[in-house]
Amino acid sequence: MDLQGKAALVTGGASGIGEAAARLLAGAGARVAVVDRDEVGARRIADEVDGFAHATDVSAPSAMAEAVAATEERFGRLDVVLLNAGMTSGQNGVTDLDVDGYRRVVGVNVDHVVFGLNAAVPALRRAGGGVVVVTASLAGLMPHPGDPLYTLTKHAVVGYVRAAAPALAEEGIRVAAVCPGYTDTALIANARNDFGDFPLLGAVDVAAAVARIVENGAPGECWFVQPGRAPGPYGFRGVPGPAGGRRAPDVSWEKH
């Protein structure tokens, strides 16, 4: 992967998958903006990769627009975006529900992706195209009964990526998702001992999959990442259509 002369933005870049991806992108030649709520951590990684740090709460409506603007101002362009910031809900969310906690996990896991893509697209257009990779999860492809709210957010992200990708692909902007299994990062720190000898991914494993998507992933693909397996696009099964072989119309809700 050769990213010489390119600029990248990574959210959740102060640790875990974001940190590993920032290092990998920088190693491929990209100048990297490290975006994270943890200002100290973001500055540490930015200094190490010769990039710059932007501290913000990515769930805030204007945060991603400001991060993109700062990146363009510093680097003069934006080519690669990894919308990686995420969190678990820490609650059942079914038989009990802490509304503030629910709003928070939706804000970070879903709103930040919507705000991030919305902010990035104009900058990518100005650069002549680019790539956006969203960190989803296997919980976006299958249920995770231990955290239904997290599952909700990751299913939403997968659906958003798949629906948003086709139109943007016509402009040379590829949007895809990476869907890792259990990864040994701070998200599972409190439950780390519960995994026993169950194989976990490392952050570098997921970052390597991100690099492959950046290099040659197709629009709308959602790549699974599992220990001991080569990462690749998940094969979604088709949904049965109406009888008679009719195809559903491509309806734009803006017209209604």
In a domain, 2, yes or no: no
Q: Is 243 within the bounds of a domain?
A: yes
- Residue 232's CATH number: 3.40.50.720
Q: Helices 112-126 and 63-75, interaxial angle, to 10°?
A: 30
Task: Classify residue 235 as left (phi > 0), alpha (psi -120 to 50) or beta.
Answer: beta
> Could you tell me if residue 71 is inside a domain?
yes
Answer yes or no: is 1 within a domain.
no
- Residue type, position 52, single letter: F
Tell me which residue range forms the domain holding 130: 7-255
208 inside domain:
yes
Query: Is 228 inside a domain boundary?
Result: yes
Reported as a single tens digit per residue, the pLDDT across 118-153 is 999 999 999 999 999 999 999 999 998 989 999 999
Residue 150 designated active-site: yes
pLDDT, one tens digit per residue, over 61-90 is: 999 999 999 999 999 999 999 999 999 998
Nearest-CA neighbor of 77 among 10, 35, 43, 122? 122
Per-residue confidence (pLDDT) for residue 175, from 0 to 100: 98
Out of 102, 150, 160, 234, the active site residue is 150
Given a cut of 70, the residues of the chain with pLDDT beneath it are 183, 185-198, 245-246, 248, 251-256
**Structural domains of the chain, count:** 1
What pLDDT sits at residue 139? 94
Structure tokens at 123: 């900058």
Residue 188 is predicted with a pLDDT of 59
